[in-house]
Amino acid sequence: MPETDVTLTVDGLSRTVTVDTRTTLLDALRERLGVTSPKKGCDHGQCGACTVLVDGRRALSCLSLVVAQRGREVVTATGLERSGTLHPVQQAIVDRDGLQCGYCTPGQVCSAVGMLEEAEAGHPSHVTAAGSAPDAPVELDDEEIRERMSGNLCRCGAYVNIVAAIRDVVHGSAGADGAGR
């Protein structure tokens, strides 16, 4: 089986891994690099547990070959924390009890961070109002948040608190006195 070296930046560190050319980004992260934040849920791109950010955009790492990521920046939920301080999305999910078993949480966090950037850049969703100004930030109400996060499943059903946590981040109240509880 053909193997190749792939160098990419993972959570701020340049990493090189020798892999079979058919290895997914998820398997390279977890099995070769010891980065276990992204989870293997369905392994078919249907649950979102493996969501990471690749060059700032959401990506399902179970569907992406690592060789296609050569030279790119991969950020996992672990890499969002800075100097002991959680990312606002992470903090809001903690504050709002937006997790139960926690298995989906890293994917939910990465998806939320990517989704916030997409909305800020004006990328419409299926529920974005027709006629919205192109490239203008999309207002994230609960319907927009639910639609944009619909690719991330939670077996425990913590959706209400996940949406509330993202809403807190959107309104700038994450981490402020228990995130508005």
Res 173: pLDDT: 80
CATH of the domain at 98: 1.10.150.120
State the average pLDDT for the chain. Answer: 94
Please check whether residue 53 lies inside any domain of the structure.
yes
CATH of the domain at 62: 3.10.20.30
Range of the domain at 18: 3-79
Please check whether residue 177 lies inside any domain of the structure.
no
Identify whether residues 46 and 16 lie together within a single domain.
Answer: yes
Res 181: pLDDT: 38
pLDDT digits (tens, 9 = 90+) for 132-142: 787 899 999 99
Res 176: pLDDT: 52
Res 120: pLDDT: 96
Q: Given 59, 79, 99, which residue is the final one in a domain?
A: 79
CB 59 within 8 A of CB 52: yes
Identify whether residues 139 and 112 lie together within a single domain.
Answer: yes
pLDDT digits (tens, 9 = 90+) for 3-27: 999 999 999 999 999 999 999 999 9
Please check whether residue 179 lies inside any domain of the structure.
no
Please check whether residue 123 lies inside any domain of the structure.
yes
Please check whether residue 15 lies inside any domain of the structure.
yes
Residues of the chain with pLDDT under 50: 177-181
Please check whether residue 49 lies inside any domain of the structure.
yes
Number of domains into which the chain is organized: 2
Please check whether residue 175 lies inside any domain of the structure.
no
